């Protein structure tokens, strides 16, 4: 099963890259994912108590926003890292006070 999953992910990445040549949203996804883990590690290197929330889309973020607010209220010393799969989700909340990154 893991083998099939890995094959699917590889095919998905290839298809996404191909679509990115013609589609701006696909291009933005590809660009945003380049070196993502390294970017996160370098920008959060000196911080402790980081909690990472990930949402696939803006709608999923809206569903989970209350969870982030409650977590932040109960853990004021923790920093919130918020990531999105969808570029439109990120672009709509990138200046939100809910997340530190």
pLDDT for 50 equals 87
Contact between residue 87 and residue 58 where contact means Cβ atoms under 8 Å apart: no
Report which secondary-structure segment, H or E, holds 84: strand 79-84
Phi, psi (deg, nearest 5) at residue 48: -120, 165
5-62 tens-digit pLDDT = 999 989 988 998 998 899 988 888 788 777 777 777 777 777 778 898 999 888 999 9
Model pLDDT, residue 65 = 92
pLDDT for 4 equals 92
The reply to whether 18 and 65 lie within a common domain is: no
pTM for the predicted model, two decimal places: 0.66
Q: How many domains does the structure of the chain reveal?
A: 2
More confident residue, 85 or 47: 85
Domain presence at residue 61: yes
Domain span at residue 60?
Answer: 46-101
């Amino acid at each position: 099963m893991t083998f099939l999953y890995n094959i699917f992910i590889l095919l998905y990445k290839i298809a996404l890259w191909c679509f990115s040549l013609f589609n701006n949203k696909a291009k933005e996804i590809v660009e945003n994912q380049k070196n993502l883990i390294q970017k996160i590690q370098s920008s959060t290197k000196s911080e402790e108590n980081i909690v990472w929330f990930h949402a696939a889309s803006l709608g999923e973020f809206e569903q989970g926003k209350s969870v982030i607010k409650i977590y932040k209220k109960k853990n004021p010393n923790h920093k919130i890292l918020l990531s999105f799969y969808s570029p439109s989700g990120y672009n709509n909340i990138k200046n939100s006070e809910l997340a530190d990154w």
